[in-house]
Amino acid sequence: MVRYVSTALKFIIIAIIYVIIFRIIRLMYIDLKRKGRLKEDMDLALEVLDAPEDINISRGSVYPIRDSITIGRKEDNSIVIEDAYVSNYHAKIILEDDIYIKDLDSTNGTYVNGKRIDRLTKISEGDLIEIGRITFKVI
């Protein structure tokens, strides 16, 4: 009895496990394809153009914008800038269909292409963003 049941079931069990593996891989493949397309659409990042020597951010660093991010001096920001001219929660970058930046009532303000912003401002490639003594470029 055991002999027949186990011998038959062994093949069935292994077959189903491989079906599961196959389905998982297929799902991953679909998922990967979608992800790849999404990434091509918006592949923006912030590059540090100018920063003083004495803080934790160095010139040339690149921060990818994968999601909405916050910039500030507190440690739970996405980009932490240890600079006295930067407020605790200084600015927020919002990723919707386009990319926007918003000043979070910071003391020294956020500048886009030299102009101080006071409301949600759309940014695009090539824009310069100044926060405290740091200049970012959208690339």
Partner 1 sequence: MELEKKVLHSIYFVTFFLFFNLCFITEKIDLVPLIFCLSSIILIAYSNFIIRKFYPRGDKFLFLISVLLCQIGIVMIYRLDIKTKNFEIPRYALKQMTWFTIGITIFMIILFIAPKMIRISRYKYVYIFIALSLLMSTLFIGKEIKGSKNWIVIGAFSFQPSEIAKFFIILYLASALSKQINKRDIIETVVFTFFAIGFLVLEKDLGAALIFFGIYLVMLYIATSDAKYVGLGLLAFSLGGLLSYFIFNHVRIRVQIWLNPWKYKLDKGYQICQSLFAIASGGLFGRGLGLGYPYLIPLAINDFIFSAIAEEFGLIGASALIILYFLLVYRGLRTAIYSKDNFSQLVAVGISSMLAFQVFVVIGGVTKMIPMTGITLPFVSYGGSSMLLNFLSLGVLYKISEGR
Where does this chain bind partner 1 (CB under 8 A)?
A: 1-3, 5-7, 9-14, 16-21, 23-28, 30, 56, 66-67, 69, 75-76, 78
The least distance separating partner 1 from the CB of residue 63, rounded to whole angstroms, comes to 10
Cβ-based nearer residue to partner 1, 9 or 120: 9
Cβ-based nearer residue to partner 1, 16 or 116: 16
The least distance separating partner 1 from the CB of residue 32, rounded to whole angstroms, comes to 9
Cβ-based nearer residue to partner 1, 112 or 136: 136
Return the structure tokens found at 75: 């440690």
Count Cα neighbours of 22 within 13 Å in the Cβ-side half-sphere: 6
The whole-angstrom separation of Cα 125 and Cα 112 is 12
The whole-angstrom separation of Cα 102 and Cα 81 is 17
The least distance separating partner 1 from the CB of residue 97, rounded to whole angstroms, comes to 18
The secondary structure of residue 4, as a DSSP letter, is: H
Cβ-based nearer residue to partner 1, 16 or 120: 16
The least distance separating partner 1 from the CB of residue 117, rounded to whole angstroms, comes to 24
The whole-angstrom separation of Cα 112 and Cα 90 is 14
Count Cα neighbours of 116 within 13 Å in the Cβ-side half-sphere: 8
